[in-house]
Amino acid sequence: MGGPLLACDEAGEMSGDAVLHPAQRLRSAVRVSGRMRTASVECVAEEVPVAMVYNGISHAVMLATPADLEDFGTGFSLAEGIVARASEIHDIDTAHHVDGIEVRMQVSNRAFDALKARRRSLAGRTGCGLCGVDSLGQVSREVKPVAARPSVDEAAIHRAFVALGEGQALHALTGSVHAAAWAHADGTLFAVREDVGRHNALDKLIGAVALAGLDTTQGFAVVTSRASYEMVLKLASVGGGLLAAISAPTGLAIDLAGRTGVTLCGFVRDGRMAIYTESRTCTATQTE
């Protein structure tokens, strides 16, 4: 066995005092500063095709960071409504190929029959804005209102974001990935998941929470991205009652959060936030 693999500092430059992250690669580049040009080796995040395969049938291919793939498969399945609960996934493993990775899942007969019916209704797919959707009517897929929302104060939300900034290992190395974290009601973090795609990061987090058996009514999610419709939909699908984002929400996301009872906070930074929808059990108040 050799010595430690090279890794990078916060500026993306190579150093020899840390182990290379499994989702990180080294690439040659030229750094330019004024008239100075310097050859360098840069740390970059991996992005590979990841296929979600159910009972031997490929359902979707995502471009994702190749880490936490069991969490990814579980969270994607829950957030997309393919399974109703994590226990419907009887087995999960990964297969690495030259052109990508398969996340192979064996799901219950009920889930697989529903998935086959869903696939028969698809005419084709031209993008990945909303996975498995082929008509405008399907965009407005509704989920049940969340059963309960966490009692969270403003300080806990800011505490979670501070911890999230400190817990983004891959972002610190590459500067190119999003993160999603699950926080307990007091703002302490249970888990952080990172990915080049913000949706993928949230799927991975949902999977980690489900596999740990956590009660989604007793915590909340924080993300390093905007809060889009899909992000609210994914969280509401698993009963999560509060989503806090470092950036802005979209109008459609606010509408969905209002209908499902999800507390939606945006622009959470520097001790401030904007609260767009708020449940009675959330005690967070907007800072002037």
- 34 and 61 in a single domain? The answer is no
Phi and psi of 32, rounded to 5°? -120, 125
Indicate whether 100 belongs to any domain. yes
In this structure, the answer to whether residues 52 and 39 fall within a common structural domain is no
Res. 75: pLDDT tops 90: yes
Q: Is the pLDDT of residue 284 over 60?
A: no
The residue range of the domain holding 188 is 154-277
If DSSP states are collapsed to H, E and C, what string results for 199-253?
A: HHHHHHHHHHHHHHCCCHHHEEEEECCCECHHHHHHHHHCCCCEEEECCCECHHH
Regarding whether 54 and 38 lie in a shared domain, the answer is: no
Q: How many domains does the chain have?
A: 3
Residues 39 and 52 in one domain: no
Q: Which residue, of 98, 122, 146, is where some domain finishes?
A: 122
Neighbouring CB atoms inside 10 A of 145's CB total 13
d(CA 50, CA 197): 12
Higher pLDDT, 207 or 129: 207
Q: Is the pLDDT of residue 279 over 80?
A: no
Asked, for residue 144, whether it belongs to a domain, the answer is: no
| pLDDT, position 123 | 42
- Residue 36 in any domain: the answer is yes
Tell whether 149 is covered by a domain: no
Query: What is the pLDDT of the chain when averaged over all its residues?
Result: 86
In this structure, the answer to whether residues 65 and 168 fall within a common structural domain is: no
Query: Is 8 one of the catalytic residues?
Result: no
Question: Which H or E run includes 182?
Answer: strand 178-184
Judge if 159 and 267 occupy the same domain. Answer: yes
| Helix, strand, coil tally for the chain in percent (to 5) | 30, 35, 35
pLDDT-based confidence at 32, cuts 50/70/90?
very high
CATH number at residue 63: 3.10.20.10
Domain boundary among 122, 144, 165: 122
Q: Which of 8, 43, 128, 265 is catalytic?
A: 128
Co-location of 158 and 249 in the same domain? yes
Query: Residue 279: in which H helix or E strand, if any?
Result: none
Model confidence, pTM: 0.86
The answer to whether the beta carbons of residues 77 and 105 sit under 8 Å apart is: yes
Do the domain assignments include residue 113?
yes
Give the tokens for residue 212: 């740990």
Which residues on adjacent β-strands are paired with residue 101?
A: 50, 96
Query: Cβ distance 102 to 53 under 8 Å?
Result: yes
CATH of the domain at 194: 3.40.140.10
For residue 129, tell me if it sits in a domain: no
